Structure 1
Amino acid sequence: MSTPAISNTAVFGSTGLVGSQILSTLLGWPSVKVTTISRRAPKAPESATNLNAIVEPDTTAWASKLTSLSPAPHTVFSGLGTTRAQAGGLANQWKIDHDLNVELAKASKASGVRTFVFISSAGTRSFISSRLPYSKMKIGVEDAVRDLDFENAVIVRPGLIMGEREQPRAGQGVMTGLVRGLGYLGQGLQDSVGQDHDVIARAAVRAAQLVAEGKAPSKYWVLEQADIVRLGRTEWVDNKPQTTTTASS
Structure 2
Amino acid sequence: MIDIHSHILPGIDDGASTIEESIEMAKQAVSEGITKVVATPHHRNGSFDNEKKVILQEVAILNKEFEREKIDLKVIPGQEIRIYGDMIDDYGRGKLLSINETGTYLLIEFPQSHVPAYANKLLFDLQISGLIPIIVHPERNQEFIENPKRLYQIVKEGSLCQLTASAVTGQMGKKVKQFSHEIITHNLAHFIASDSHNVKTRPCDLRKALDTVENKFGLSMRYMMQENAEFLIEGKVVQKEPPQRIHKKKRLGIF
On whether the aligned pair clears a TM of 0.5, the verdict is no
TM-score by length of 1: 0.37
TM-score by length of 2: 0.37
